[in-house]
Structure 1
Amino acid sequence: MNSFLDQYELSSTPFDSISCVKFSPSNPDQLLATSWDTTVRFYDTAKNEQRCKFDHRAAVLTCCFADGGHGYSGGLDTSVKQLDLESEKAISLGQHANAVSSMNWSRDTNVLITGSWDRTIRFWDPRAPTPQQDSFGVPERVYLMDLVNSTLVVAMASRLFYIYDVRKMPEPAQTRESSLKFMTRALACMNDGQGYATASVEGRIAVEYFDPSPEVQEKKYAFKCHRQTVDVIDHVWPVNSLAFHPVYNTFASAGSDGTVSIWDHKLKKRMRQFPKYHSAIPSIAFNCDGSRLAIAVGYNWDDGADGAKAADKHSIYIRPLGDEVKPKGWTPS
């Protein structure tokens, strides 16, 4: 069961590199995908159909869902857009001064949180007459953010991390330097709220915990991955995306080597590696019940224009999941 053949490719995929895929937090079939082709596409993955498409004026880098038929998107045109998935209309909530690089919807506070290369984190209330509520300065460009409960992790340039309690802005609860020596490329929070995983351009993943006590911090570790020795030469690829399973709290990693691995971070062990895809994997996402994994595949400009080929294909695969993501001896809590 759940062989490589079980997966299927979505129709009407973007024409250029896919930057981000995100499933709905409440509907296991609904998926948003953003692309360098300046579009955000909304899919019903069960029916394998594109429901609608929204346009930006430049490459779209990030998206997220809110409950209630709305999504959000942002990118190089600096605009933060609200997407009405029923009426298929988009409105601009406002703008950053530079590219919008990451966003999360806070279900606890019903606000959209956006991060930008303009060195700010902004909070938006889409229902308010003036949607932008607050802007908080940070010392570096925001690359990535992820949110679990009320804990927001912000990964910035210069390997800097801020950890916030979103109810107690603007000061971070913790400031950290990355455990990895090279630029942060991926970030995901554990679904149990205990910590997060981060990955770098140099084929490594670090598993971190929020609790600052020495006994908990002793549990953090980092490891090499997405590497291969070919003819005695060690090839190292960026780890582009991480995602935690919503039920089992295992996590998936995806890299420019075209592979996806499933990890049990408590046992510090790889559980599964899926067969290699046709190109780099810029983004992955589990759906809300953990029954499927979306895998975006296509050239993501790691090697610049020299690496681009006319035949490059940009795909989104939906992979049904079984016990390969379940830790050994797992029992429902």
Structure 2
Amino acid sequence: MSTFGTINTATSPHNPNKSYEVVQPPTDSISSLSFSPKANYLVATSWDNHVRCWEIHSTGASMPKAAITHDQPVLCSTWKDDGTVVFSAGCDKQVKMWSLLSGGQPVTVGVHDAPIEEIAWIAELNLLVTGGWDKTLKYWDTRQQNPAFVHPLPERCYALSVRHPLMVVGTADRNLIIFNLQNPQTEFKRVMSPLKYQTRCVAAFPDKAGFLVGSIEGRVGVHHIEDAQQSKNFTFKCHRDGNDIYSVNSLNFHPIHQTFATAGSDGAFNFWDKDSKQRLKAMARSNQPIPCSTFNNDGSLYAYAVSYDWSKGAENHNPATAKHHILLHVPLEGEIKGKPRVTTGGRK
């Protein structure tokens, strides 16, 4: 008999797409989701100060594996490339390293002077990078107490994405800083976001030629790095309903098809193909925002949180009645496989 939790795929206001539900979800808003690069282990960080891990079965069933706590809300998480170690950070200004699958205790491997918003493992450099509200980017060799090097940022770090050798950092005031990680101590290029409002998320292209940027104003920018490719740049609207405009909270490329998903404060997630400039699939809206999402390593699962995202402030959050869910969608090929651009009469 299976030891995995039960699967609830009944339609409900938070789960109109009949996704699988992860058992024993966090008790407060969910801030990040990270799948192991090697197996179906899912980590979630939360405003309840916890980092939790589940084993996800191919049937969609889930089983809690382990959990650790921080002193304050946890905002971000990432895995080491070999799938043995989880890193997490947040409002306690500490970076914790956790040998999750061997039952080890978390160790603090880095600190900032303000909350840490973003974290990523750079396998090619064997370094961890963290971005904080102290306006710094710090690179950590986890065997040493002090950062390998520190890079000042023009403003607070809000978003970060790594596809070696490309790293893109989004800060307050709409700055986008591009790094070539073959020379990580020097900025390669700094550009202003093509979007008029605050950056919420970024995602480097799988081919490293550019990146996506999402804003609080229900819009995504598709931006190329090289000057010769600027004519390919465009922006598009999403996560809007009439006059209601919602934040784009998460951008994830599919690891096989290289299409991407957006998730937003409207409670919806959509699949897109940037090359044909098409939306592949629009999913039904949940009754709460989707603050974060991620694909597993082979793209057979898309995990997303349905949880308050603070976009309407603390006054619109009731901890006593709020529910928090982690859901697992199994993408169909038609939802995530790109389509050729439609041509009529020899014209695109």
Q: Is the TM value for this pair above 0.5?
A: yes
Corresponding letter in the other structure for 2:169: V
Pick from 160, 164, 182: which aligns with 1:167? 182
Aligned to 1:52: 66
Q: Describe the superposition over 1:265-314 as per-residue Cα deviations: whole angstroms up to 9, x where unpaired.
A: 11111110111113100001011101110011111121123322443210
Query: Alpha-carbon deviation of 1:69?
Result: 0.8
Pick from 296, 319, 322: which aligns with 1:312? 322
Change (3 A) 1:75 1:247: same
Map of 1:26-105 to 2, 5 A cutoff? Answer: 26-27=38-39, 29-46=40-57, 47-66=61-80, 67-85=82-100, 86-105=102-121
Change (3 A) 1:240 1:166: same
Is residue 200 of structure 2 the alignment partner of residue 185 of structure 1? yes
Pick from 249, 258, 261: which aligns with 2:270? 261
Aligned to 1:146: 161
What's the TM-score, normalizing by structure 2?
A: 0.89
Map of 1:234-313 to 2, 5 A cutoff? Answer: 234-309=243-318, 310-313=320-323
Question: Aligned equivalents of 1:94 and 1:110: distance in 2?
Answer: 15
Aligned to 1:7: 19
Greater than 3 Å deviation, 4+ residue runs: 2-6
Question: Aligned equivalents of 2:266 and 2:123: distance in 1?
Answer: 35
Percent of aligned positions with the same letter in both sequences? 34
SS in structure 2 of the partner of residue 217 of structure 1: helix
Aligned to 2:241: 228
Contact 1:52/1:88 (8 A) holds in 2: no
Q: Which runs of 5+ in 1 are unaligned?
A: none
Question: Aligned equivalents of 2:184 and 2:164: distance in 1?
Answer: 15
Question: Aligned equivalents of 1:226 and 1:68: distance in 2?
Answer: 33
Change (3 A) 1:222 1:5: closer
| Richer in strand (by share) | 1
Q: Describe the superposition over 1:82-101 as per-residue Cα deviations: whole angstroms up to 9, x where unpaired.
A: 01112241000121111111
Question: Aligned equivalents of 1:249 and 1:24: distance in 2?
Answer: 19
SS in structure 1 of the partner of residue 286 of structure 2: coil
Q: Number of matched residues?
A: 321
Question: Aligned equivalents of 2:71 and 2:173: distance in 1?
Answer: 29
What value does the CA root-mean-square deviation take over the aligned residues? 1.7
Query: Alpha-carbon deviation of 1:329?
Result: 5.4
Question: Aligned equivalents of 1:91 and 1:132: distance in 2?
Answer: 15
Query: Alpha-carbon deviation of 1:5?
Result: 5.9
Question: Aligned equivalents of 1:284 and 1:100: distance in 2?
Answer: 19
Q: Which runs of 5+ in 2 are unaligned?
A: 1-8, 342-348
Aligned to 2:124: 108
With 301-310 and 263-272 compared, the bigger mean Cα shift is at: 301-310
Contact 1:6/1:320 (8 A) holds in 2: no
Is residue 32 of structure 2 the alignment partner of residue 16 of structure 1? no
